[in-house]
Structures are given as C-alpha cells and as structure tokens.
Structure 1
C-alpha cells in the first residue's frame, strides 16, 4: 500500500465497485489537491455518484484504495468512516434530505449540534449561511412549508456550516431553476475559495463544470480524460451566465 502524494488531500487508485454484479467503477484513479474544485462529469450511469460515495467513505470499493491525507479510508471500519464524514466532510445531494420535524435553521445547524456545539453558537453560524443563501427569512419554517429551491439551499447551508475539509456535491443544483442555480453555485464556490475547502462536484451540466479548476470525465465507470478549464473549447472558467 503506497501513501498518496503530499499535495493531494484526496487520492484514489484503481477503484472497482459493482452494483448488482455490473461494474459501476472500473479501475478509476485520481488525485484532488487541497483547495481544488474538481468537477466529475459524464452521462447518467457513468459512475459519478458511486465515485463520490467511495471517496467520501459512504461506500467501500471492491478493490482499490482511497486516501484522505495520510488516512486510508478504504480500510477504516464503519464507525471510523462515519466519524470522518461527520468531522471532516460535507455532502450535498441532488435532493434535499432534511429532517421534517426540524425547522430550517435547526436542519442547517444539525452537524454543529452533533459535534457538541452550543445551541447559541450553532444557531448563529446556521443563520449566517442561510442569510448568504437568501433563505434567512425561512429560518423558522419546517421543510414542508418551503419550496424545493429553498429546501435545497438549506441543505447547502447544512453542508457548509462546519467548514469541511472536503465538500462532496452530487448534482447540487439539479432541483433548481437557472437563477437559483447560479446564486447557489456562486455561494458554494465563493465559500470554497475563501475557506480553502476542497470540492468534488459531480455534474451533468457542462456550464456548471466551468466553475471548476479541473474536470475529470467518466464513461461506463472509467476515467476518460482530465482537463483544465482553458483546455476545453468554448469554456469560461471565471463566469457563469445568469
């Protein structure tokens, strides 16, 4: 077992994973530098979500290695992986999985409360992120009273409140309209840059991928390329049309 390069906060080598006997990942290797925003692109069923789940410790690959800094995620037991996700990682999925009994600020503050933060400190931090995402006025509403776009923004706030070392974003703007998508992405990428958060972003949208420092593409569970934004024809890495 070989430790990852020093400048890679995440490193995966020859990942293999199967869903119902079919290969979802077939020998994928990659490294993610600290503070980098990496976009993982590819058609539906190409293995993007499976890759993010393996990198974040939600899934254990059948073969291969996943390292976070100098820690081998692939050989951790379930409790260690859960602790790693709680303390160092953030996750945004394509659907906002909020706790229905909690209001918006309580949902956003949940990771901090689970870490043992005081009620007042957790609420203050959660409210700051809800305000940044333009849903501060919804803080006392429960999920059923929120629009889909508002629920997704609360989910984004929940992922950012702990200032994670790595944020995994699996189609985070899928349920959003164009204007909402642009605002959420600006907040996410600005937070990543200002807080030195490493982001691994899975997306079907080529326009979303332009926000990344680098793009990796998957087809049928295999990595097919790695591009800097300047190498992709017609892309502008510095802006997103709104």
Structure 2
C-alpha cells in the first residue's frame, strides 16, 4: 500500500511539472503555449536589440557633437561622412550640408533667396529626422501588440483548458482534486505564459518609447542649432556678395 501511495504521488508530481502540463494539454492549448513562448523570445530579442541600438546612437551622437563643436571645418566634416553618415545625427548634418552645397553650386546662396533656402534646409532636415526616427522605432509596434494581446491569448488557452477539464470531469464522474488539478493547472499555465510575454513587452515599450522621445528631442535641438548656423552663414555670404 505504501508503494502504491508513493507511485501515485510521483505520478501527480510528474503530471503537474512544466513538461507534463505541456504534453498533456489539448492541441489548441499547446498551440497557444508555443505561440506565447515564441512571442516571449521575440520580445526579448527586440529588447536587447533596441537597448544596444539606442546606446550606440547616443554614443555616436556624443562623439559627433564633440567633433562638430570642436571648431573644425564643417566642409571637411561633411566630406568625411557624406558617403556613410552611420547614425541619425550625422545623417541630419549631411542632408543639410548637401542641400547647402547644391544651392551654392547653382548660385542660389543670395540674399534674395535666403528665405527659400532656409526653408528647404529645414524641410530636408525634418524629412531626414523623421526617416531616421522611423528606423529607430521599427518593431516597437511588435512590443505594443504583444503586450496588449498576449494576456488575452493566454486567457483563451486557459478558458479552453478549463472547458476540457470540466468535460473530463463530466465524462469520468469523478470530482476528486487528483482528477481536476492537472486540467486546471495546464489551463492556468497558458495564462502564466501570456503574462510572461506581455509584462516585459509593456515595460520595455514604455522605457524604449521614452528613450526614443529623448533622442528625438536631441535631434530636434541639433537641427535647430545647425539651422541657425547655416542661416547666419547665409546672411554673411549674402551681405559680402
């Protein structure tokens, strides 16, 4: 009798283990579990990629601003990075300098054209800034989507699993805890997996969205400062002419 009790106990433990809950689950619940596990892996991959990316663009921006404000020639700086800006702030600088040079080559840097040239440069920088921010924002919507839908997908698996558990109870006409527990446990496991995917996604989205807004403000500030420099240079050249 003692051996039978131990074996029965070991069976329950095995059935209520993580692998046991998965392999005993209904095919629909299995699909939900696999989908949520894949979503969780995807979330963490995006998180690590974005954290590394934001850290790198901020470091590149620090180095670029140090060189930009060092007093060196902006023309030489543009010549070095025009072919491959490498990061958003450099791309912003290169786009403005490119428009400036094109206008200068066509003889448009005159007092009469000052207003239109300033407007073109600002528009070029705005387009470049939006494009670079869109690249940084890529896959952020995935975090938002998983964060908002994963709990409900897990809940669907839970409801389905509980339905199966009650069906099994009705079929066996046995309401003991040993019969009910595995079905309900596997159903609740689906909810746990949904939260496992959703919580990091929501936290990371809020954090990364704040980082993106901060970097966008930094680009906007640089754009305004550089626009003022070009505007002053334009006024000086127009007056000298």
Specify the TM-score bucket, using the shorter chain as the normaliser. Answer: under 0.3
Bigger proportion of residues as strand: 1
TM, length-normalised to structure 2: 0.21
Q: Which of the pair has the greater relative contact order for Cα pairs under 8 Å at 6+ separation?
A: 2
Bigger proportion of residues as helix: 2
